[in-house]
Amino acid sequence: MDIHKLQEIVHKTRDARRQQTIPKYSPADRDQLIKKFHPDFRGAAYRPLTFGPNAGEMTVRELAALLEGDSPLPADFDLTPHYTTDVLVVGGGGAGCAAVLHAHAAGAKVILATKLRLGDSNTVMAQGGMQIAVTQEDSPVTHFLDTLKGGHMKNDHQLLKTMVEEGPSIAKWLLGLGVLFDRDADGNLHVKKGGGSSKPRLLTASDYTGLEIMRVLKDEVLNQKIQLLEFCAAVELLSNENGTCTGAVLRDLDNQRYVVVAAKTVILATGGIGRLHIQGFPTSNHYGATGDGLAMAYRMGAKLMHVDTFQYHPSGAVYPEQLIGALVTEGIRSEGGHLVNAKGERFVNELDTRDVVSSSIIRECKEGRGIRTMSGRVGVWLDTPLLDAEQGPGTVKKHFPAMVMQFERFGIDISKDPVLIYPTLHYQNGGVKIDTNGESEAKNLFVAGEASGGLHGRNRLMGNSLLDIMVFGKRSGSTAAARAATLSQGALTLGHLDRFRAEAKKSGVSSDVICPMILPAYARKE
């Protein structure tokens, strides 16, 4: 059926929905709902890791194949360095930029290597805001408790305490650098409420918060004349005879050659794994999100945390086809946008935690209350025109200019027509285990941002990722610089890789997967 015909139900039921009581879930209902419908609980999608630091733990098959894949480097690879530095930062998103700026400020010689261009990352795609307790009514303790509850109490308490307590100083740092967060008429920072949060705590820059933060961080990296290696993807770490990290090998994508960097400390800020499309899900992630850092750290012997849990953001675009999986910010639900099924009913508190909202959407679609497009995709409606209806004409355009533009390119006016959405693979809740300074279990190897794990437990709250990358970017950058000042450059070997390969052989694993994959392979085989 024509999409406009299908949309009619949303307009027709708006008044009735205003009176509707939304279903309330008890803790037991929530658990049951998640276990039944959340993709984290589809047993067939999982298998145990055969060897390595997390041997025996379950993860999705796509990630297991990646972690057990082989390095592109031969054992006798020439490790003569092309560059020597104190701190090598791998990744040009928010965590990488924060790390390199703080390491540089601490006096270290630094290099920032990035797979694509500086700034190409999930950070620029973060829309709805950054959680920091900045108001009188809020506190880091409340932020801590909300996040712990959202993460099913599985968050690393020390990491979480560090993040929420350092939030206000991060806001100050970013404002000082020139980030233009939204303000109220009286000039105070404007805060919004995100899903699973008890207080309004989101600092925003319209619906392009991550882009605004990256605008400033990129400028600062350029202003500070940080040495950049763009289009250079890390493919392997280097270690000395004790297994301590001593640098990395990069693949120079422009010149199709390998580049060896000797570094006293290395910080991985390589982001997530959306482009592995686990369980066939579309993703909101950028093209470089292929889990490179996880695989390299695993080969180096660093333990991973929570490798069995992923975040499926409730609102990924389902229509038009060109936008499949693209993020439709939670900010729209924060401002009152209803989720509506094919019967014209609300079916969940739109500001519940993401795992609950996504599970409810999947349930509606599985039980026949979804809306099917002509190409056979299924989703539920997000009533975007409701915002104009409730708050006055022009609200959608004023508050969500990036979202409006994204759909306008395909002739869709989201202030008039609701948006069809379905959960999209958005975030890896876990990652490399780190301490509060960002150091992994492999000495002198630091990890910041989405590639690290433990902070968010089993479900991240909206806006905590932007704070995570700034706090742990800063802490890993400063600590890696201070550590480097105490070290001389270690030997460059592939000893850890030899051990990894021997372990694979002993476990009977022979993989034809070469990893990192660097970029997703979308070309059709034929």
Residues of this chain that interact with ligand MEZ (CB under 6 A) are 126-129, 327, 329-331, 462-463, 465
Residue recorded with tokens 């968050």 = 155
Q: Which is nearer to ligand MEZ, 330 or 383 (CB)?
A: 330
The catalytic position among 104, 333, 338, 475 is 333
Active-site residue flag, 42: no
Provide the b/e sequence for 84-102 (b: ≥16 CB within 10 Å). Answer: ebbbbbbbbbbbbbbbbbb
413 vs 517: CA distance, rounded Å: 37
CB 69 within 8 A of CB 294: no
The DSSP result for 368-380, as a single string, is T-SEE-TTS-EEE
CB-nearest residue to ligand MEZ: 128
CB of 327 to ligand MEZ, least distance (A): 6
Q: Which is nearer to ligand MEZ, 197 or 240 (CB)?
A: 197
CB 333 within 8 A of CB 326: no
CB of 354 to ligand MEZ, least distance (A): 8
Active-site residue flag, 275: no
Q: Tell me how far CA of residue 305 lies from CA of 156, 222, 310, in angstroms.
A: 10, 34, 12
CB of 504 to ligand MEZ, least distance (A): 35
CB of 455 to ligand MEZ, least distance (A): 13
**E-assigned strands of 306-377?**
310-317, 338-340, 371-372
Q: Which is nearer to ligand MEZ, 147 or 329 (CB)?
A: 329
465 vs 429: CA distance, rounded Å: 10
H-helix or E-strand spanning residue 30: helix 27-37
CB of 127 to ligand MEZ, least distance (A): 4
CB of 208 to ligand MEZ, least distance (A): 10
Peptide bond before residue 320 is cis, with ω within 30 degrees of 0 = yes
Q: Which is nearer to ligand MEZ, 354 or 475 (CB)?
A: 354
CB 246 within 8 A of CB 240: yes
Q: Which is nearer to ligand MEZ, 284 or 444 (CB)?
A: 284
The catalytic position among 14, 275, 313, 338 is 313
Residues annotated as catalytic are 313, 333
